[in-house]
Structure 1
Amino acid sequence: MINLYQRTDCPFCWKIRLALAELSVPYEIVNTSLGEVHPEVQRLSPTGTVPVLVDGEVVIWESGVILEYLHTKFPASKLMPVSPAAGAHVRSLHAYSDKCVGPALRDLVFEKRSRPAELWDTQLIADSEQRWQQCQGYLEAQLGSSVFFGGPAYSAADCALAARCGVAEAYGTGVGGSYPALLRWYERIKSRDSWLQAFPRSFIGSRE
């Protein structure tokens, strides 16, 4: 049985739950809390952070490597396209989610989850929202007329970007109507069983 050490609203963990749900892989969750020094996570991961996936003697503590592992372990997986070019595209978009979308949203999320609304730094939030708008423009262009970011099939990039969009929506700045292809993609994502299975139980300090 696979064990996943995770925090429910962490987008890195959320994308792993989405992948597991898409692959119909049974697993058990070990929940942690924000700021918690979990002894098993500390023992298993050199970074001391989640997600950590444990499959027998296999321990993986980096979310991108977890996705690659799941793709190779389960032969029916379509998380990574077979074509080298398409595979590189999906991996690049996955990296974009972690290296660009996450940082764009970070100030907005951290501000809203750590302070009451009357103490929010509105300029900090506005700047973060502007960076998120720029990310949406990039993703709109990358998606084009495709059904998913992996082309016709739901991919690792869709897992990662779905979680980021879900976090943005939870903190009051979801996918905008100025990006119709991206919005249609997000609505398709939210209609899938995997979305319902993987959706966080709660978001820390989010306020509608």
Structure 2
Amino acid sequence: MAEITIYSAVVCPYAHRTRLVLQEKGIDFDLVEIDLQNKPEGFTKVSPYGKVPAITHGDERVWESAVINEYLDEVFPHPPLLPSNPIAKAQARIWVDFANTRFVPAFSNLLRNPEPQKQEEAKQELYKHLEFIENEAFGKLSQDGPYWFGESISLVDFTFFPWFERWAALREYRGFAIPAEFTRIKQWKHALKERDSVKAIAHSKEFYIERYAKFAAPAVAAVR
């Protein structure tokens, strides 16, 4: 039995983050797949919010993907996935927060909102965030390296990547591809896709298009 057990759901990008970290670090783990529409009895004893991912490590439990990933990086320090320099570590945490509070909500709003006007607003918001990443992350932090912090992969890369693996759903249902002018983002996405840790649990474009269809479905008019 592995030291770590992760409670996950295959469609969940947050759980995808933590599985990527486990793969990158070569940590042996047991995987428990949770049906989020029919959660098993007692699941909240592991995940008090009733969400995935959550992990158990011996008798301890940790939930929330960003917290789990930092925990794993501290407990299993090789290879390190956060910079050791205090300011660089602070910048990494800022980018994780940016993903959680700005980028991911814009992605979700675009995919899930059935109203064309709201979709257009979400496209503009998401474009603005991509532009910020292109200029502030890859234009300043990464220099000539392929990853957020240059030559070294980090938690930030794994924090964002699950949504980029799912981008085919945005293109399919909302006609929003990654704009051509964001060349560094495209290079970064390609570099991530080539990593063994990413390949090990990757799914096809068709997989996400099929599974995200229900989230992108148009609203059903109320019967009067």
TM-score, shorter chain, exceeding 0.5: yes
Task: Say whether residues 1:205 and 2:212 are aligned partners.
Answer: yes
Of all paired residues, the percent bearing the same amino acid is 24
Match of 2:51 among 49, 52, 61: 49
Contact in 2 for aligned 1:165/1:174 (Cα 8 Å):
no
Provide the C-alpha distance between the structure 2 equivalents of 1:24 and 1:196, rounded to a whole number of angstroms: 14
CA distance in 1: counterparts of 2:30 and 2:170, whole angstroms: 28
Question: Quick one: distance in 1 between partners of 2:202 and 2:30?
Answer: 15
- After superposition, the Cα gap between the structure-2 partners of 1:185 and 1:105, relative to the gap in structure 1 and judged at 3 Å, is same
Aligned to 1:27: 29
| Separation in 1, partners of 2:41, 2:54 | 12
TM-score norm. by structure 2 comes to 0.81
> Shift of residue 87 of structure 1?
0.7
Q: 1:110 to 1:58 in 2, by over 3 A?
A: same
Against the structure 1 CA distance between its residues 95 and 174, is the aligned structure 2 distance closer, same or farther, given a 3 Å change threshold?
farther
Say which SS state the counterpart of residue 108 (structure 2) adopts: helix
> How big is each residue's C-alpha offset from its partner over 1:7-57, in whole Å with a ceiling of 9 and x where there is no partner?
112111111111111111121211123433332432212211111111111
Distance 1:130 1:96 in 2: 17
**CA, structure 1 residues 163+205, in 2 after alignment: closer, same or farther (shift >3 Å)?**
closer
The one-letter code sitting in structure 2 at the alignment partner of 1:15 is: R
Partner of 2:120: 126
Distance 1:46 1:58 in 2: 13
Counterpart of 1:148 in structure 2 is 147
Query: Structure 1 residue 200: deviation in Å?
Result: 4.5
The answer to whether the Cα contact below 8 Å between 2:46 and 2:55 also exists between their aligned partners in 1 is no
5 Å-filtered alignment, 1:4-19, equals 4-19=6-21
List gaps (5 residues or longer) in structure 2. Answer: 215-224
Kept in 2, the 8 Å contact 1:52–1:61? The answer is yes
Ranked by relative contact order (alpha carbons within 8 Å, sequence separation 6 or more), the top structure is 1
Q: TM-score, normalised by structure 1?
A: 0.87
Residues in 1 aligned to 2:83 and 2:18: alpha-carbon distance in whole angstroms: 17
| Equivalent position of 2:217 in the other structure | none
The structure 2 residue matched to 1:184, chosen from 182, 187, 190, is 187
AA matched with 2:61: V
SS of the residue corresponding to residue 149 of structure 1 reads coil
Q: How many aligned residue pairs are there?
A: 200
Residues in 1 aligned to 2:179 and 2:213: alpha-carbon distance in whole angstroms: 19
The alpha-carbon deviation at position 164 of structure 1 amounts to: 2.0
